[in-house]
Amino acid sequence: MRLVFELDFDAKRISGRFVLGANYAGGAGFAHGGIIAVVLDEAMGKISKLTEEKAVTAELNVVYRKPVPVDKEIVVEGWQEEEKGRNRFRVGEIRDAEGNLLARGTARFVAIDQEHFEKVRAAQEKV
């Protein structure tokens, strides 16, 4: 799966249009719930590119409202609603081409400095 999002620096939002494909179908022929969570997490994570900061998912909640098709285009959007200290509270939505809300995610991301990432990476390379 390759998800490419457009960054709207003025609106402080990201968006993308995708057809997931049959490989991502669950038992009923619609998108698997785990794939929906991945798409929403990725959308909310990409918001960091608007400010060039690094942030990791600390909490993720998904509300599955309607089945997400794998054979039709979906519209994915994400934005940040609030910032408290290092916490970034974000929202992601998946809609169909007609604008119907199919799934909504909310998440708390935590901003991490580059030095921390480099320390973790170096420690993993030693293992």
Contact present, 18 and 94 (Cβ < 8 Å)? no
- The whole domain housing 113 covers 6-126
Catalytic site residues?
41
pLDDT digits over 62-76, tens only?
999 999 999 999 999
Residue 111 lies in a domain: yes
Residues 118-126: what's their mean pLDDT?
Answer: 79
Q: Look at the chain and report how many structural domains it folds into.
A: 1
Instruction: Assign residue 103 the CATH number of its domain.
Output: 3.10.129.10
Q: Does residue 1 sit within a domain?
A: no
> Is residue 121 domain-resident?
yes
pLDDT in tens, 1-19: 678 899 999 999 999 999 9
Residue 122 — pLDDT band, cuts 50, 70, 90? confident
* pTM of model > 0.85: yes
Chain Cα centroid distance, residue 17: 13
Q: Can you tell me the mean pLDDT for 79-96?
A: 97
For residue 12, being part of any structural domain is answered with yes
Mean pLDDT of 50-54: 92
Query: Do residues 64 and 103 lie in contact, with contact meaning Cβ atoms separated by under 8 Å?
Result: yes
Q: Which residues, 6+ apart, have CB-to-CB distance to 115 below 8 Å?
A: none
